[in-house]
Amino acid sequence: MILQDKVALVTGGTSGIGRATATLAVSAEQRAFGAAGAKAVFSGRRDAEG
């Protein structure tokens, strides 16, 4: 696996590109990080937006 033992950190997970990346990364069809062997961490500052 190309990303074995790596961590993908996605910032801005509550809006824009960060939110789109988070949504795609956890959807049933697009588990790219996990399929490549990585763990994924998503962060965001806007509590009201999710």
Q: pLDDT tens digit string along 1-50?
A: 788 888 888 888 888 888 888 787 777 555 777 777 888 888 888 777 65
For the entire predicted model, the pTM comes to: 0.60
15 Cβ contact partners less than 8 Å away, ≥ 6 residues apart? 44, 46, 49
SS3 state at 42:
strand
β-strand partners of 40: 8
Domain ranges of the chain: 7-49
Distance CA 22, CA 24 (A): 6
Helix, strand or coil for residue 12?
A: coil
